[in-house]
């Protein structure tokens, strides 16, 4: 049976980079963002429910979801965002728990890493053998986010403050990966961690 670890971290903490390193070192990697995309593909219940709630105007001509259009509706209106979350939240959770169950039942002995941005906020921690948090100090987080998204300090702070703080995630984690150094340091840290998992 595989060991399965949840992976989380604040915005701009470097989750994609960390996942790539785990993948390169032979781990099986899952990503909750991919699950969120899969549940709204054409022909899914998720997309059907979204269309019946928000109308056909949120679709491209090929029947796929126009995320930008939907985003402009929900991110300016908390009630609309709640409607969307009420549709997608349970479907994402069901798919994540189904994947975890499949991993547990498989004979695959490889380590599995499941990245979930809102892992603690959505109470997924009990489903894993441990939770890994990618940590960077807020000052570095702010700089990286401003550079990555090309946004002002004020907008970056709004994004950071809309999430659970790095310090809270760090306290709740079983394992902390410090990503405030360079890529070589990070790769060495993860390589050594995998040997212990």
Residue 129 has pLDDT above 80, yes or no: yes
Number of C-beta neighbours around residue 144 at 10 A? 18
Q: 59: which DSSP letter?
A: B
In a shared domain, residues 98 and 70: yes
> 């679709």: which residue's tokens?
59
pTM greater than the 0.85 cutoff: yes
The confidence score (pLDDT) of residue 2 equals 81
Indicate if 146 and 188 belong to the same structural domain: yes
Do 124 and 191 fall into the same domain?
yes
Whether residues 1 and 61 fall in one domain:
no
pLDDT band at 25 (very low <50, low <70, confident <90, very high): very high
Cβ(117)–Cβ(32) below 8 Å: yes
Taking only the tens place, the pLDDT of each residue in 162-196 is 889 999 999 999 999 999 999 999 999 999 999 99
Q: Are residues 174 and 186 in the same domain?
A: yes
CA distance 38 to 46: 9
**Backbone phi, then psi, for 59, in 5-degree steps?**
-105, 150
CATH number assigned to the domain comprising residue 135: 3.40.50.300
Same domain, 165 and 193: yes
51 phi, psi to nearest 5 deg: -65, -40
**Residues spanned by the domain of 184:** 1-27+110-197
Percentage of the chain lying above the pLDDT 70 cut: 99
Q: Are residues 131 and 169 in the same domain?
A: yes
Residue 149 phi/psi, 5° resolution? -95, 0
Q: How many domains does the chain have?
A: 2
Picking from 77, 108, 139, the residue at the C-terminal end of a domain is 108
The tens digit of pLDDT for each residue in 72-117 reads 898 778 899 899 999 999 999 999 999 999 999 998 999 999 999 8
Closest of 177, 101, 136, 182 to residue 12, by C-alpha:
136
Name the token pair of 6. 């949840």
- pLDDT for res 161: 86
Mean pLDDT of the chain: 93
Q: Answer with the one of 57, 77, 108 that is the final residue of a domain.
A: 108
């Amino acid at each position: 049976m595989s060991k399965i670890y949840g992976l989380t971290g604040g915005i701009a903490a470097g989750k994609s980079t960390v996942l790539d390193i785990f993948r390169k070192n032979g781990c099986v990697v899952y990503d909750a963002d991919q699950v969120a995309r899969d549940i709204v593909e054409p022909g899914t219940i998720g997309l059907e429910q979204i269309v019946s709630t928000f109308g056909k105007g949120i679709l491209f001509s090929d029947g796929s979801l126009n995320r930008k259009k939907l985003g402009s509706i929900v991110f300016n209106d908390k009630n609309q965002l709640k409607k969307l979350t009420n549709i997608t939240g349970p479907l994402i959770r069901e798919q994540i728990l189904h994947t975890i169950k499949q991993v547990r039942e498989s004979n695959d002995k490889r380590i599995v890493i499941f990245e979930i941005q809102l892992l603690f906020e959505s109470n997924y921690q009990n489903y894993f053998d441990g939770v890994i948090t990618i940590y960077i100090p807020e000052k570095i987080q702010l700089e990286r986010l401003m550079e990555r998204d090309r946004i002002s300090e004020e907008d970056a702070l709004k994004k950071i403050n809309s999430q659970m703080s790095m310090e809270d995630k760090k306290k709740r984690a079983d394992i902390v990966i410090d990503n405030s150094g360079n890529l070589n340091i990070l790769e060495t840290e993860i390589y050594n961690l995998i040997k212990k998992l």
